[in-house]
Amino acid sequence: MTLLQELECRLNAALTSALGEPTTGAVTAAADLRFGDYQSNAAMVLAKQRKTNPRALAQEIIDHLDLIGLATADIAGPGFINFRVLPAAYAQRMATLIQDERLGVPATGAGKTVVVDFSAPNVAKPMHVGHIRSTIIGDSLARIARFLGYKVIADNHIGDWGTQFGMIIYGWNHFLDESALAVNPIAELVRIYRKVNAATKDDPTVLEHCKAELVKLQAGDATNLAIWQKCIEVSKNGLQKIYDRLDVKFDHWLGESYYNDRLGGLVEDFLTQGIARESNGAVCIFSDGTKPLEEDPFKVHKEDGWTDNPAIIRKADGGFLYATTDLATIQYRIEEWKADHVWYVVGVPQQLHFRQLFDAATRWGKTGDFKHIAFGSILGDDRKLMKTRSGDNVGLIEVLEESVERAAKAIAEKNPDLQGEEAAKIAEIVGIGAVKFAELSQGRLTDYVFSWDRMLALQGDTAPYLQYSHVRIRSIFRKLDAPFDASTVTVHLHEDAEIHLARLLVRFGEVLPTILEDFRPNLLANYVLELARAFHSFFEACPVLKADEPTRLSRLALCELTSRTLQQGLQLFGIQVPERM
Ligand code: ARG
């Protein structure tokens, strides 16, 4: 049980005995530490229901509260109950955390299966900064869910089937540079795609040729299928290199094409069940009229009032669409993988698509907890969408490369002793960590301005700052003659800085589950930053190696727990910690 849960249990026992019937109230971390560590507004909520005086009720509850050995409680303001945890209780918690591999994090996801759908770039189109967000946020949510005990299935639903293949096959036949393809397949596919795109502008017949190639591909033409397959293969290899560098792993890569065979039957099923109907030759899903207009994804408000906003699942020419594939995908995930939750980490512009998808899937009898985890854009210094000097979207690889380069420079300046392979390895960890943390410390829905200086600063809300904090803690242990074993140590807490560090260490297990309530990794970012700051204050105020026993061992145990918690927190972001930097 977390400390917060324990306080809640004690509060609920007091509520029940004070009011003479089973009653519950919530405890939260205190907003202001001057008033205590935790607080509850239960007395105010219950007094309102019962039309009694909240302060009097709070006193009544406190009179029934058994907090022996745990905390003290008092009333503040209009009837808040504030809890101040006893240092001895924190010390006891430290002992438990030291023995606990999970650092106090409860397995809130045990027994549940979640599919995390993230990254999902489109073949033959470059992975741009928008994909950075999906990849980094999705990977972190998958890691956090896994740590909370969920069975996580990370699925890369790549766009490997679409109209772009008409152009790519045409380009493959006319413009392909085999040696360039071998060196950088993603770039070469993008190059030929752009070249064909430009050619269609000069010569309209090119477009006709592309369309013909697409029709051949869709009809199963062997030559075109072979080219398509080769494109997928080289793209996957190129992508895998990026994921390896980012330390991102997928359990599956079931791209759009995986579902091709199911689409025809699916549309028939929608027609028979009356969820979809024909309209101008196309098959469309319309509103079922069960929801208020404002909440109905198949209705849209235009100047002349509410009108239909259908989702097409089969075009008049027989072609299927993104929505059709996604319906087949959701069915597969629920039926084959027994998913309880499906999380889609995809940008804001696809909001309507997912509202329609979830509504249609539910009407089709595919139920589950479906979430579109949307995110905003990354902006350049000019507050416009980030572009390269030539005006293209910035590629993910370029961003990573530049970050690592800048990190290498900063490290060389700060610590010229580091050389060669070791320096390069640290630069990689720091540069990539910086990009990830810059992303994850933002509210995911806000558009944020990308700034190298801000994300690489050693003093700031950055990965390098956290990595450096970890290095600093580890350097304490390097000065010891013998390996340190925290499990035999009794922790004593006297100084404010020690107590504050312990307070935060206990919070790890309380903060982590709340991240998934609204998919906000930035709560974890705030937490690790606060923990690192608390460590630095502690380290300034409290000598560790020079302290007398038993304080020395007790403080070493606090250092050890801090370093483990920091490392675990960063690991949930996919950020590694170097030994030195
Ligand atoms: N390939 C899509 C894109 O880049 C994202 C796919 C997201 N996943 C899904 N199941 N629709 O826009």
Q: Give the pLDDT confidence score for residue 395 in this predicted structure.
A: 72
Hey, whose CA ends up nearest to atom 6 of ligand 1?
Answer: 120
Q: What is the pLDDT of residues 95-106, one digit of tens each?
A: 999 999 999 999
Residue 130 CA, ligand 1 centroid: distance in Å? 11
pLDDT more than 90, % of the chain: 86
Looking at the fold, whether 417 and 339 belong to one and the same domain comes out as no
Pairs from 307-314 (Cβ < 8 Å, separation ≥ 24): 309/352, 310/279, 310/284, 310/285, 310/286, 311/284, 311/285, 311/356, 311/357, 311/360, 312/282, 312/283, 312/284, 313/266, 313/267, 313/270, 313/276, 313/283, 313/284, 313/285, 314/263, 314/267, 314/282, 314/283
Question: Does residue 524 lie within any of the structural domains?
Answer: yes
Distance separating alpha carbons of residues 411 and 427, to the nearest angstrom: 7
- Using the structure block, give the residue that is written with the tokens 């039957």: 265
Q: What is the pLDDT of residues 319-343, one digit of tens each?
A: 999 999 999 999 999 999 999 999 9
Q: Ligand 1 within 6 A of 435 CB?
A: no
Split into its structural domains, the chain has a count of: 4
Q: Probe ligand 1: pick from 125, 133, 157, max atoms within 8 Å of CB? A: 157
Q: What is the pLDDT of residues 461-505, one digit of tens each?
A: 999 999 999 999 999 999 999 999 999 999 999 999 999 999 999
Looking at the fold, whether 408 and 504 belong to one and the same domain comes out as yes
Looking at the fold, whether 201 and 274 belong to one and the same domain comes out as no
Residue 151: CATH number of its domain:
3.40.50.620
CB 135 within 8 A of CB 94: no
Look at strands 305-308 and 113-117 and give their pairing. unpaired
**Which domain does 75 fall in, by range?**
3-85
Q: What is the pLDDT of residues 263-305, one digit of tens each?
A: 999 999 999 999 999 999 999 999 999 999 999 999 999 998 9
Q: Ligand 1 within 6 A of 117 CB?
A: yes
Residue 162 has pLDDT above 90, yes or no: no
Residue 506 has pLDDT above 70, yes or no: yes
Residue 243 CA, ligand 1 centroid: distance in Å? 17
Domain final residue pick, 254, 283, 298: 254
Looking at the fold, whether 467 and 549 belong to one and the same domain comes out as yes
Residue 236 CA, ligand 1 centroid: distance in Å? 16
Q: Ligand 1 within 6 A of 296 CB?
A: no
Question: Does residue 230 lie within any of the structural domains?
Answer: yes
Q: What is the pLDDT of residues 180-217, one digit of tens each?
A: 998 888 889 989 999 999 999 999 999 999 999 999 99
Hey, whose CA ends up nearest to atom 5 of ligand 1?
Answer: 120
Q: How many CA atoms lie within 13 A of 483 on its CB side?
A: 2
pLDDT band, residue 393 (cuts 50/70/90) = low
Q: Which residues contact 526 (CB under 8 A, 6 or more apart)?
A: 441
Q: Give the pLDDT confidence score for residue 161 in this predicted structure.
A: 93
Residue 486: CATH number of its domain:
1.10.730.10
Question: Does residue 512 lie within any of the structural domains?
Answer: yes
Residue 486 CA, ligand 1 centroid: distance in Å? 47
Which H or E element spans position 518? none
Q: Probe ligand 1: pick from 322, 348, 350, max atoms within 8 Å of CB? A: 350
Average pLDDT of every residue of the chain: 94
Residue 515 has pLDDT above 60, yes or no: yes
Domain final residue pick, 200, 219, 254: 254
Question: Does residue 108 lie within any of the structural domains?
Answer: no
Q: What is the pLDDT of residues 5-51, one digit of tens each?
A: 999 999 999 999 999 998 999 999 998 898 899 999 999 999 999 99
CB 541 within 8 A of CB 575: no
Looking at the fold, whether 412 and 561 belong to one and the same domain comes out as yes
Q: Ligand 1 within 6 A of 344 CB?
A: yes
Looking at the fold, whether 55 and 181 belong to one and the same domain comes out as no
**Atom of ligand 1 lying closest to residue 344 CA:** 8
Question: Does residue 92 lie within any of the structural domains?
Answer: no
Residue 164 CA, ligand 1 centroid: distance in Å? 15
Question: Does residue 467 lie within any of the structural domains?
Answer: yes
Closest alpha carbon to 86 in 508, 494, 489, 487: 494
Cis upstream peptide for 349 (omega within 30°):
no
Looking at the fold, whether 149 and 168 belong to one and the same domain comes out as no
Residue 327 CA, ligand 1 centroid: distance in Å? 13
Mean pLDDT of 512-524: 97
Mean pLDDT of 421-444: 95
Q: Ligand 1 within 6 A of 159 CB?
A: yes
Rg (CA), the chain: 28
Q: Probe ligand 1: pick from 153, 259, 346, max atoms within 8 Å of CB? A: 346
Hey, whose CA ends up nearest to atom 4 of ligand 1?
Answer: 121
Q: Give the pLDDT confidence score for residue 86 in this predicted structure.
A: 97
Q: Give the pLDDT confidence score for residue 398 in this predicted structure.
A: 82
Mean pLDDT of 228-232: 95
Residue 390 has pLDDT above 70, yes or no: no
pLDDT band, residue 392 (cuts 50/70/90) = low
**Atom of ligand 1 lying closest to residue 357 CA:** 11
Distance separating alpha carbons of residues 462 and 430, to the nearest angstrom: 10
pLDDT band, residue 386 (cuts 50/70/90) = low
- Using the structure block, give the residue that is written with the tokens 């006709």: 208
Question: Does residue 439 lie within any of the structural domains?
Answer: yes
Mean pLDDT of 524-535: 98
Mean pLDDT of 142-150: 98
Domain final residue pick, 254, 275, 296: 254
Question: Does residue 476 lie within any of the structural domains?
Answer: yes
**Atom of ligand 1 lying closest to residue 353 CA:** 11
Question: pTM score, two decimals?
Answer: 0.95
Q: What is the DSSP letter of 293?
A: G
Q: Ligand 1 within 6 A of 160 CB?
A: no
pLDDT more than 70, % of the chain: 98
Distance separating alpha carbons of residues 222 and 209, to the nearest angstrom: 17
Looking at the fold, whether 131 and 204 belong to one and the same domain comes out as no
Q: Ligand 1 within 6 A of 346 CB?
A: yes
Looking at the fold, whether 475 and 512 belong to one and the same domain comes out as yes
Looking at the fold, whether 544 and 432 belong to one and the same domain comes out as yes
Q: Ligand 1 within 6 A of 157 CB?
A: yes
Q: Ligand 1 within 6 A of 122 CB?
A: yes
Residue 120 CA, ligand 1 centroid: distance in Å? 5
Residue 387 has pLDDT above 90, yes or no: no
Residue 51: CATH number of its domain:
3.30.1360.70
Looking at the fold, whether 513 and 449 belong to one and the same domain comes out as yes
Looking at the fold, whether 243 and 263 belong to one and the same domain comes out as no
Q: Give the pLDDT confidence score for residue 396 in this predicted structure.
A: 77
